[in-house]
Amino acid sequence: MAHTKLTNEQINAVLKELPGWTVKDGKLHKTFKFKTFARAIGWMVSVAVQADKMDHHPDWSNTYNRVEVNLSTHELDDTISDLDTELARKMEELAG
Ligand code: HBI
């Protein structure tokens, strides 16, 4: 299936439904905070399984109980596509 770059309007509409998400340096960005390191890593593992199924992978880094996430689509010059908003939604679901 072909994926398309989202317009600023489309991105702003999605951001209203995704608490804590912003656009930073042209990427969909959020820092997730968990109670413990173990919970942060557990969440990352569950997201990784879903991301791999989608063949769409986050740029992210972990520091103790925080995970900083940046989503973009390399195939579309690192812009934000429907795949990024789909993965952001999955991340929210899995964060409970
Ligand atoms: N992950 N975030 C992200 N963006 C992509 O464009 C992307 C990816 N993971 C795998 C992937 N593309 C592959 O489809 C291609 O690199 C072959």
Domain 8-13+21-95 in CATH: superfamily? Transcriptional coactivator/pterin dehydratase (3.30.1360.20)
Place of tokens 């969440």: 43
Q: What is the pLDDT of residues 25-66, one digit of tens each?
A: 999 999 999 999 999 999 999 999 999 999 999 999 999 999
Ligand 1, atom 9: closest residue by C-alpha: 56
In angstroms, what is the span from residue 55 Cα to ligand 1's centroid? Answer: 6
How far, in Å, are 30, 35, 53, 85, 87 from residue 40 at the CA level?
A: 14, 8, 20, 21, 17
In angstroms, what is the span from residue 29 Cα to ligand 1's centroid? Answer: 17
**The pLDDT value given to residue 1:** 59
In one-letter notation, the amino acid at residue 59 is D
Domain ranges (residues) in the chain: 8-13+21-95
pLDDT, average across residues 65-76 = 97
Pick from 4, 23, 26: which is nearest to 12 by CA? 23
pTM of the model: 0.95
**pLDDT at 16 > cutoff 70:** yes
**The pLDDT value given to residue 33:** 98
In angstroms, what is the span from residue 35 Cα to ligand 1's centroid? Answer: 30
